[in-house]
């Protein structure tokens, strides 16, 4: 969407729009962003070519320093997570250790004469001597077998970690050795693509944008705690540390727990909550599988009404009243079923809100799109320029940002222990939620409300958001590191 | 590629036949070089001693660059073998496969696996739990299975009787044995599970 939005802003170019977007928070003051924005995180968003250049610099540095081929440098860098300086230092101390650790050399030297060069141990053929080749381990196989081996491995998506064909030999085949045996252009290309992906994945400073078909790559220097990075291409917000969607104030381990829980349980939970209730007498879980609301518990034979859970005997003519709904919920609350249902209720409480905000966020996208066309119409009709209506656009962007944070407060609260901190958190969460709903209301009616009023509301909502993040994001990171003492 | 596979298999059958172990067998099931039947003898001083275990071996088209698919046909009570499907959890049949490995080494490795179980990396969680919690009972159960399914020499009368009890209730023999083995030969527990 960024491409066409740039188009629509023919009055001012894309950069300028960004400039306005940034400035509305700090209201013309030049403030250090790292202080005002609790989520501030230094990163860059790179193109594939830029990353290739970056990787090549490390490769060149290492191959020049150690006087080795670039292919070998790649194998070593991959093993040492691209820390070229560390490799150079260690190499000076003990070159052999570095080569063995990165599996350039075998840990035990192959005894000479173990691989006879009369026949190839893989295909059992007896090709001429000159069509044998071997890695540093000395295990000789015929070139046809090597190319078959590489073809099979590349087709399975293996690239950097292709190994020698000998039993229990872990020596890795460097790029030049592989390419000298692979002739098919499509296969060579595939291999090099996999190599690049593997290099980015093994590099601690790099991460692919997880957006579908997105080609951008993030670069940053810290991989701990929730770290917001925004893609230049698809605008997706990602956590640099773990690769999940950005999730402040929730930390990486918790969001993983939450997302798996939702993936595992949400369908089951939906079914259970929609189709089952506990028997009011014996608390056993009952599934409703027919239309009739007169239920008989299969376990204790208690007759009751599905709608109100009251005794069926009282339902004669006055069935539709079902006035007995306010039943004591503490009945036998220590039973296992009741506890399970209580846990389910708690989860559902958070899950429903989480889901609801996710849906609202999608609707907010639509608001954003329709707002853009409305502004365009105004500009075309001569009612001011884009600059005059910029505040509307900013308000919708801000609303989106606030709602995003709000969505991710729910998993945080779900896993929080009860106590004053949770009370404080939920208080702030409720405040944020209230201001966001106010803002949402005003944004939808933005053209008819007062601009000052709207901007005031924007300011309040953003303040609530940053306050919550300041209080819980930072402390949370500190807690995460100190609570393990 | 299938070419290499066929050539290799021919050699490998000869290698096994020539081999002096006398405890391995390898033969073709059809003429296509893709399906083989293996047989290994239970290693001495294990509950599998004296038994003969048949294995199904399927050769992929990309053999030997990909590993063969091997599973037990004979039912085995072992933590790293599924008591239901005969699937084997063995590293050289997965990521530790090397093109230079042969079916002879595979059969020998499976034989070695029978001698040294790895309950912490189980294929069959039920068997593994029994192995860890009650090893003598595990051994006796494995011996009983070897006797019944692999012609092993040790007859466990007590277990046979318990199976017979369930048979009289109309339960299928193998199902009865699985249920009893799973419930540590507690007839009540096994019956409950079968009829629940």
- The Cα B84–Cα B100 span in angstroms is 31
The stretch B140-169 carries a mean pLDDT of: 91
Catalytic sites of A, residue numbers: 292
Please state which of the ranges A231-245, B24-38, B124-138 shows the lowest mean pLDDT: B24-38
Please state which of the ranges A36-45, A55-64, A161-170 shows the lowest mean pLDDT: A36-45
- Report yes or no: A122 at the B interface, CB cutoff 8 Å: yes
Indicate if A80 and A135 belong to the same structural domain: yes
Would you call the peptide bond into A249 cis, given omega within 30 degrees of 0 as the criterion?
yes
User: Chain A: nearest CA to B30, how far in angstroms?
Assistant: 21
- In this structure, is residue B53 part of a structural domain? yes
Residue A325 pLDDT exceeds 50 = no
Last residue of a domain, one of B93, B115, B137: B115
Residue of chain A minimizing CA distance to B96: A168
Contact A148 B100 (CB under 8 A): no
Indicate if A311 and A169 belong to the same structural domain: no
Residue B46 pLDDT exceeds 70 = yes
Q: What is the pLDDT of residue B59?
A: 92
- In this structure, is residue B42 part of a structural domain? yes
Contact B7 A163 (CB under 8 A): no
Percent of chain A with pLDDT over 70: 78
Indicate if B169 and B102 belong to the same structural domain: no
What is the domain extent for residue A139? 50-202
User: Chain B: nearest CA to A126, how far in angstroms?
Assistant: 12
Residue of chain B minimizing CA distance to A161: B95
pLDDT grade for A12, boundaries at 50, 70 and 90: very low
- The Cα B5–Cα A467 span in angstroms is 67
Indicate if A189 and A296 belong to the same structural domain: no
Indicate if A60 and A196 belong to the same structural domain: yes
Residue A214 pLDDT exceeds 80 = yes
Buried b (16+ CB within 10 A) or exposed e, A270-281: eebbeeebbbbb
Query: Do A163 and A173 touch, CB atoms closer than 8 A?
Result: yes
Q: What is the pLDDT of residue A6?
A: 40
pLDDT tens digit sequence for A246-289: 998 888 888 888 888 888 776 676 666 667 777 777 777 777 76
Q: What is the pLDDT of residue A451?
A: 83
The stretch A4-32 carries a mean pLDDT of: 44
- In this structure, is residue A446 part of a structural domain? yes
Q: How many domains does chain A have?
A: 3
Please state which of the ranges A332-336, A361-365, A394-398, A457-461 shows the lowest mean pLDDT: A332-336
Indicate if A476 and A349 belong to the same structural domain: yes
Indicate if B111 and B131 belong to the same structural domain: no
- Report yes or no: A168 at the B interface, CB cutoff 8 Å: yes
Indicate if B22 and B56 belong to the same structural domain: yes
- In this structure, is residue A215 part of a structural domain? no
The whole-chain average pLDDT of chain B stands at: 88
Query: Do A251 and A227 touch, CB atoms closer than 8 A?
Result: no
Indicate if B145 and B100 belong to the same structural domain: no
Number of H helices, E strands in chain A: 16, 11
| Residue A468: partners with Cβ closer than 8 Å, 6 or more residues away | A249, A405, A409, A425, A428, A429, A432
- The Cα B1–Cα A123 span in angstroms is 10
Active site residue B156: no
Using an 8 Å CB-CB cutoff, list chain A residues near B98.
163-169
Q: What is the pLDDT of residue B43?
A: 92
Last residue of a domain, one of B84, B115, B146: B115
Using an 8 Å CB-CB cutoff, list chain B residues near A139.
100
Q: Which of A254, A255, A250 is nearest to A425 (CA)?
A: A250
Contact B100 A141 (CB under 8 A): yes
- In this structure, is residue B93 part of a structural domain? yes
- Report yes or no: A165 at the B interface, CB cutoff 8 Å: yes
Residues of B with CB under 8 A from a CB of A: 1, 4, 7-8, 11, 62, 64-66, 96, 98-101, 105
Contact A123 B105 (CB under 8 A): no
- In this structure, is residue A89 part of a structural domain? yes
What is the domain extent for residue B6? 2-115
Query: Do A379 and A443 touch, CB atoms closer than 8 A?
Result: no
- In this structure, is residue A15 part of a structural domain? no
- The Cα B4–Cα A119 span in angstroms is 13
Indicate if A59 and A198 belong to the same structural domain: yes
User: Chain B: nearest CA to A46, how far in angstroms?
Assistant: 34
Residue A16 pLDDT exceeds 60 = no
Indicate if A362 and A297 belong to the same structural domain: no
Q: What is the pLDDT of residue A363?
A: 85
For A42, A241, A355, the CA distances from A248, given in Å and listed in that order, are 16, 12, 17
Indicate if A169 and A131 belong to the same structural domain: yes
The stretch A340-353 carries a mean pLDDT of: 80
Last residue of a domain, one of B115, B136, B170: B115
- In this structure, is residue B134 part of a structural domain? yes
Counting Cβ atoms within 10 Å, is residue A310 exposed (0-12), middle (13-18) or buried (19+)? middle
Q: Which of A149, A151, A168 comes nearest B99 by C-beta?
A: A149
- In this structure, is residue B154 part of a structural domain? yes
- The Cα A279–Cα B188 span in angstroms is 30
Torsion-angle region of A298 (φ positive above 0: left; ψ -120 to 50: alpha; else: beta): alpha
- In this structure, is residue B120 part of a structural domain? no
Q: Which of B7, B11, B66 comes nearest A152 by C-beta?
A: B66
Q: What is the pLDDT of residue A4?
A: 42
Buried b (16+ CB within 10 A) or exposed e, A114-127: ebeeeebbbbbeeb
Please state which of the ranges A47-51, A155-159, A257-261 shows the lowest mean pLDDT: A257-261
Indicate if A66 and A198 belong to the same structural domain: yes
The stretch A135-139 carries a mean pLDDT of: 89
Query: Do A409 and A255 touch, CB atoms closer than 8 A?
Result: no
Distance of CA A312 to the CA centre of its chain: 50
Residue A167 pLDDT exceeds 90 = no
- In this structure, is residue A8 part of a structural domain? no
| Residue B96: partners with Cβ closer than 8 Å, 6 or more residues away | A168
Indicate if A66 and A181 belong to the same structural domain: yes
Q: Which of B1, B66, B101 comes nearest A167 by C-beta?
A: B101
Neighbours of A7 (CB within 10 A): 9
- In this structure, is residue B152 part of a structural domain? yes
- In this structure, is residue A75 part of a structural domain? yes
pLDDT tens digit sequence for A447-480: 666 788 888 989 999 999 998 888 888 644 444 4
- Report yes or no: A149 at the B interface, CB cutoff 8 Å: yes
- In this structure, is residue B151 part of a structural domain? yes
Q: What is the pLDDT of residue A219?
A: 93
- In this structure, is residue A104 part of a structural domain? yes
Indicate if A446 and A411 belong to the same structural domain: yes
Using an 8 Å CB-CB cutoff, list chain A residues near B101.
167
Contact A168 B64 (CB under 8 A): no
Please state which of the ranges A273-287, B92-106, B114-128 shows the lowest mean pLDDT: A273-287
For A1, A213, A233, A395, the CA distances from A7, given in Å and listed in that order, are 10, 22, 15, 20
Q: What is the pLDDT of residue A31?
A: 57
The whole-chain average pLDDT of chain A stands at: 80
- In this structure, is residue A382 part of a structural domain? yes
Where residue B48 sits, what CATH number does that domain have?
3.10.110.10
Q: How many domains does chain B have?
A: 2
Using an 8 Å CB-CB cutoff, list chain A residues near B4.
122-123, 145, 148
Using an 8 Å CB-CB cutoff, list chain B residues near A121.
100
Indicate if B36 and B56 belong to the same structural domain: yes
Using an 8 Å CB-CB cutoff, list chain B residues near A165.
98-100
Write the DSSP assignment of B122-135 as a string of letters: -SSHHHHHHHHH-H
- The Cα A29–Cα A22 span in angstroms is 11
Please provide the size of chain B in residues. Answer: 196
Where residue A116 sits, what CATH number does that domain have?
3.30.40.10
Q: Which of A151, A153, A165 comes nearest B100 by C-beta?
A: A165
Indicate if A345 and A294 belong to the same structural domain: no
């Amino acid at each position: 969407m960024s491409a066409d939005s740039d188009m629509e802003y023919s009055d001012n170019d894309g950069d300028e729009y960004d400039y306005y977007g940034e400035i509305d928070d700090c209201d013309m003051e030049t403030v250090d962003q790292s202080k005002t924005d609790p989520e501030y995180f230094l990163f860059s968003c790179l193109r594939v070519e830029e990353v290739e250049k970056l990787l090549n610099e490390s490769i060149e540095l290492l191959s020049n320093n150690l006087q080795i081929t670039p292919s070998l440098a790649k194998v070593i860098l991959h093993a040492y997570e691209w820390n070229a300086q560390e490799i150079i230092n260690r190499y000076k101390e003990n070159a052999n250790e570095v080569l063995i650790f990165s599996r350039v050399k075998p840990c035990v030297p192959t005894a000479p004469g173990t691989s006879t060069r009369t026949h190839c141990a893989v295909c059992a053929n007896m090709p001429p001597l000159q069509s044998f080749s071997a890695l540093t381990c000395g295990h000789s196989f015929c070139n046809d077998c090597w190319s078959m081996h590489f073809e099979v491995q590349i087709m399975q998506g293996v690239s950097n970690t292709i190994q020698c064909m000998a039993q229990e030999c872990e020596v890795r085949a460097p790029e030049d050795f592989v390419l000298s045996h692979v002739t098919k252009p499509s296969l060579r290309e595939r291999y090099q693509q996999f190599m690049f992906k593997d290099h980015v994945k093994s590099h601690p400073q790099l991460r692919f944008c997880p957006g579908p078909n997105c080609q951008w790559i993030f670069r940053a220097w810290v991989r701990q705690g929730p770290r917001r990075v925004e893609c230049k291409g698809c605008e997706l917000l990602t956590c640099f540390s773990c690769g999940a969607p950005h999730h402040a104030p929730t930390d990486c381990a918790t969001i993983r727990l939450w997302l798996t829980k939702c993936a595992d349980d949400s369908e089951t939970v939906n079914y259970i909550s929609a189709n089952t209730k506990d028997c009011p007498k014996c608390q056993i879980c009952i599934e409703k599988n027919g239309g009739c609301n007169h239920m008989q518990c299969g376990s204790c034979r208690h007759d009751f009404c599905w709608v109100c859970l009251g005794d069926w005997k009282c339902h004669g003519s006055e069935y539709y009243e079902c006035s007995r709904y306010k039943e004591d919920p503490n009945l036998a609350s220590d039973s296992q079923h009741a506890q399970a249902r209580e846990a389910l209720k708690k989860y559902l409480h958070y899950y429903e809100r989480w889901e609801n905000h996710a849906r609202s966020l999608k609707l907010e996208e639509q608001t954003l799109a329709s707002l853009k066309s409305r502004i365009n119409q105004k500009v075309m009709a001569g009612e001011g320029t884009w600059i005059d209506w910029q505040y509307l656009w900013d308000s919708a962007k801000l609303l989106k940002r606030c709602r995003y944070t709000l969505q991710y407060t729910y998993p945080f609260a779900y896993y929080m222990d009860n106590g004053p901190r949770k009370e404080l958190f939920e208080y702030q969460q409720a405040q944020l939620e209230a201001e966001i709903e106010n803002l949402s209301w005003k944004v939808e009616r933005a053209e008819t409300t007062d601009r000052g009023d709207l901007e005031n509301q924007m300011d309040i909502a953003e303040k609530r958001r940053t306050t919550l993040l300041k209080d819980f994001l930072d402390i949370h990171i500190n807690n995460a590191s100190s609570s393990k003492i | 590629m299938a070419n290499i596979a066929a050539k290799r298999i021919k050699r490998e059958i000869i290698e096994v036949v020539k081999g002096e172990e006398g405890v391995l067998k390898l033969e073709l099931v059809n003429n296509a070089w893709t399906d083989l039947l293996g047989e290994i003898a239970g290693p001495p001083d294990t509950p599998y001693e004296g038994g003969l275990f048949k294995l199904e071996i399927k050769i992929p088209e990309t053999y030997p660059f990909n590993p063969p698919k091997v599973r037990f046909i004979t039912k085995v009570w072992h933590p790293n073998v599924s008591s239901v499907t005969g699937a084997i959890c063995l590293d050289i049949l997965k990521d530790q496969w090397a093109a230079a490995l042969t079916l002879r080494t595979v059969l020998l490795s499976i034989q070695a696996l029978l001698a040294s179980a790895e309950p912490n990396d189980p294929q069959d969680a039920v068997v593994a739990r029994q192995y860890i919690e009650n090893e003598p009972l595990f051994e006796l159960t494995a011996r009983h299975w070897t006797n019944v399914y692999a012609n092993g020499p040790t007859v466990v009368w007590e277990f046979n009787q318990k199976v017979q009890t369930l048979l009289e209730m109309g339960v299928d023999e193998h199902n009865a044995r699985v249920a009893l083995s799973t419930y540590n030969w507690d007839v009540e527990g096994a019956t409950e599970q079968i009829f629940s």
